[in-house]
A and B are shown apart, each in its own frame.
Chain A
Amino acid sequence: MLDLHPTGQASASAELGTSLRAGSGPSFDRKARLRLFNSAFKIACIAAAGFVCLILLCILFFMFRTGILTFRDVSFSEFFFSTNWDPENESYGALLFIFGTFALTALTLLFSVPFSVIIAIFLAEMTPAWLRNLLRPVLDLLVGIPSVVYGFLGMTLLVPMLRDLTGHELADGLLAASIVLTIMVLPTISRISDDAITAVPKKYRDASYALGSNRFQTIVRVVIPAASRGILYAVILGMARAIGETMAVVMVIGNTAQIADSLFKPTAVLTSNIVMQISSVEFDSTWNHALYMMGFLLLVISLLMIVVMRFLQQRGGKNA
């Protein structure tokens, strides 16, 4: 080592002092270059972060600015409280879409949450290791399958199936859409819940078993409560996906501007209505503005959910 670092340990302390001072030694150029790279890199990172922020602000701004123009021609109460959507005749009641979105999301959660939690328990607590190692990647892959494929699946397999089962002529509607969405969000919710359940420390389980509880009691009274925050997070994530999903819904909901008072009645939701109508309207028309306003609503709903989620996480952090 001595030979390799001639200025190294052999130096008297004074020599060490000199070598510490900047601008000395043969590697000065290299140091200067490193400093330059460092600051250039930092500036690039700051610029990128700034750009991301700029995009976010732009999105909020554009959606809001275009959407708010709706209320030049349409009254606030008509937009939010009327169910009559007939843009050709100057009727812009968006309530039916808002209702459709919420109804669809609620139905989807109703179906998907119980199944997802059961699958999560199944994966985390009951399956032998080989099956778990097989199923987890399969579910991960299902998460990645494009929504349009799920839509196509619903359209060509589920809707005919529903038609045969129920005897309705048209099975398009909330029920079909919520089943498709359930199939779509189920892998997401169950995998995240699965991770949450797996993350419950073994000591809780040991404590419960040591007190003589059986598996059912341990899971229901100890494991699930301990993982509840993670499961809630998964549910909110699934909810966000259900609210915002477009193509899978478009293909099975029927796309008719009428309020859904039956599970089998063709209807429409915010997303499906936007995508079906946006390309056929003038940019500077009230119709278009109303569609942007609906987009803005979606934006606000999903941002609100994130705030709620953050709040939950923070409270969880304090409790833990």
Chain B
Amino acid sequence: MQAIIEIEKLNLFYGAFQALKNVSMEVPERAITAFIGPSGCGKSTLLRTLNRMNDMIQGTRIEGKIEIGGADIYSNDVHVETLRKKVGMVFQQPNPFPKSIYDNVAYGPRLHGIRKKQELDEIVESSLRSAALWDEVKDYLKRSALSLSGGQQQRMCIARALAVGPDILLMDEATSALDPISTLKIEELAQELKDKYTIVMVTHNMHQAARVSHQTVFFLNGEVVEYSDTEKLFSDPSDQRTEDYISGRFG
């Protein structure tokens, strides 16, 4: 598989604290990559550097290089808005806007200049279909998104991210606030989406990583301890610390 994200010697500091230490890795295209590790290990931080959401935290400093599709995303000629359009994100807590379902999904396309009702309708429908939510909400598009259940809200957030036409989808512990059934639905959805999108997910749930992903990266204290195919990492880890973690000895 071809690599779509290449990270080279990345160091990230919040003020004096170093959150990521010399991270180098590649993320393959159209596959699911999972970041695992105990909380505070830097997995979410790395995820948030991929669409530069860390820019908004004051005192963040970055050394090293991240290339997406060969373009250095921290160089001056990359517009952060374009980057975020191409690298969508789904958050830990479902975060719908207090608007209707339709307006939520159409928010992104409207931002990027699409005004025609018909065009928007099509995008909303196809995005909701891709997020496996269309059949549940097609008659209630004008209802407030806050009236949906937690799992539905999260799938709507995925639809909202898909509606701007990303190539990469970042999922930051997207199922941790959901019940088991909703979690399962999101996992199935991720499986379907991986044919079209590159998915990077952070999860605190090792079983989820084992179930869903092709490649798994294990983080500890801001460092990448090990990354390899999921099967290999879980069955035959090469690092003692990885083995300790996946066998539940800490974390």
Contacts and interface: CB of A to CB of B under 8 A. Distances in A.
Our verdict on whether A and B bind, yes or no, reads yes
Interface of A: 1-2, 4-5, 7-9, 11-23, 27, 30-31, 34
A22 to B, nearest CB: 4
Interface in B50-80: 67-71, 73, 77-79
B103 interface: no
Contact of B81 (A5, A9, A13, A31): A31
Contacts, number: 76
Interface of B: 2-4, 29, 67-71, 73, 77-79, 81-83, 86, 112-113, 119, 122-123, 126-127, 130, 162, 165-167, 196-197
Given A14-B70, A16-B167, A9 B196 contact: yes
A9 B167 contact: yes
A31 B167 contact: no
From A19, A21, A22, A27, name the one whose CB has the most chain B CB atoms within 10 angstroms.
A21
Minimum-distance CB pairs A-B, first 7: A17-B69, A16-B69, A5-B165, A17-B70, A17-B71, A8-B165, A13-B69
Contacts of B165: 1, 4-5, 7-9
A2 B129 CA distance: 13
Given A1-B162, A13-B2, A16-B167, A21 B71 contact: yes
Contacts of A30: 113
Given A1-B162, A9-B197, A14-B69, A20 B122 contact: no
From A8, A9, A27, name the one whose CB has the most chain B CB atoms within 10 angstroms.
A9
8 contacts: A8-B165, A9-B197, A16-B4, A16-B68, A19-B82, A20-B86, A31-B79, A34-B81
A1 B67 contact: no
A16 B86 contact: yes
Contacts of B68: 13, 16-17, 20
A316 B1 CA distance: 57
A2 B73 CA distance: 24
B160 to A, nearest CB: 13
A30 B94 CA distance: 30
Contact of A4 (B69, B78, B83, B123): B123
A19 B68 CA distance: 11
A225 B29 CA distance: 59
Contact of A13 (B29, B119, B162, B197): B29
A21 B166 CA distance: 15
A8 B167 contact: yes
Contacts of A18: 69, 71
A192 to B, nearest CB: 26
A19 B167 CA distance: 11
Contacts of A16: 4, 68-69, 71, 86, 167
A134 B127 CA distance: 45
Given A4-B165, A5-B165, A20-B73, A13 B112 contact: no
Contacts of A5: 165
Contacts of B71: 16-18, 20-21
B60 to A, nearest CB: 20
A30 B196 CA distance: 28
B230 to A, nearest CB: 22
A7 B70 CA distance: 16
From A11, A17, A30, name the one whose CB has the most chain B CB atoms within 10 angstroms.
A17
A20 B83 contact: yes
A9 B67 CA distance: 17
Given A9-B197, A34-B81, 4 more contacts: A8-B165, A13-B68, A18-B71, A21-B71
